[in-house]
Amino acid sequence: MGKLCIPIVETTMGKALIAIKKANRLADLIELRVDYLRNLELPLLLQNRKKPFIVTNRKKEEGGQYRGEERERLGVLQEAIDLGADYIDVELATQRSWLQDLVRNKGGTQVILSFHDFRRTPSLKELQRISWRMIQLGADVVKVVPFARSWEDNLNILSLIPFAKKRKQKIVAFCMGEKGKLSRIFSPFLGAAWTYASLSQSRTSAPGQLTARELTDIWGKLR
């Protein structure tokens, strides 16, 4: 069976805490999308956690909700490290010096370096080059998520998983969009560290995201 990460995309602390309780029953990991939260209290969210947590503070240009200063955005990720978060997710497009600071000061937290392309899926060679850049920067987990414009795009992104495995590199790789759903389903079976699914259809964090129930039902039929 694949590993499942459920993103929490609520706008208030109260709703986020309720969603975390629900996610605990279904998820192997939980992603805190703190860019959605209006009044963030990170220590409260991270205390007494039952599953590994990923803290993500995604800016608007990368498909998130954060619109403030970059230094403050990355400061939240450093706070997550200081609080002992299991993972942080930071974009490859982040200013290199700040990215290197986070990797250097990560302590016991694992750093996910992520790349998103909301228009297309690059060629396999290009995807490999992007992944190699992230490996060289010290990523604990490489995350590559382009947009599928054709069914063949699923093959490109899934072919990236053996590339990473040969280098003993943890990877999360799948396509967004309706035509990318196949890669979301099958990537863990090829060796991806996990895939993402939402608590409900109204709480998706990216196009083409299945619900946790839908995904686990499909996995159950494939066993």
**Kind and range of the H or E element at 185?**
helix 181-186
222 to each of 34, 122, 178, how far by Cα in Å? 34, 29, 20
On whether the CB atoms of residues 168 and 142 are closer than 8 A, the answer is no
Task: Return the SS3 of 53.
Answer: strand
Cβ neighbours, 10 Å, residue 26 = 17
Supply the angle between the helices 96-104 and 70-82 in degrees, to the nearest 10.
10
With 0-12 / 13-18 / 19 or more C-beta atoms within 10 angstroms meaning exposed / middle / buried, residue 119 is exposed
Q: Considering 59, 60, 106, 143, which one is annotated as catalytic?
A: 143
Q: Considering 59, 106, 116, 181, which one is annotated as catalytic?
A: 116
On whether the CB atoms of residues 197 and 4 are closer than 8 A, the answer is yes
124 to each of 27, 35, 154, how far by Cα in Å? 30, 31, 11
Active site residue 21: no
Active site residue 3: no
So which residues are the catalytic ones? 116, 143
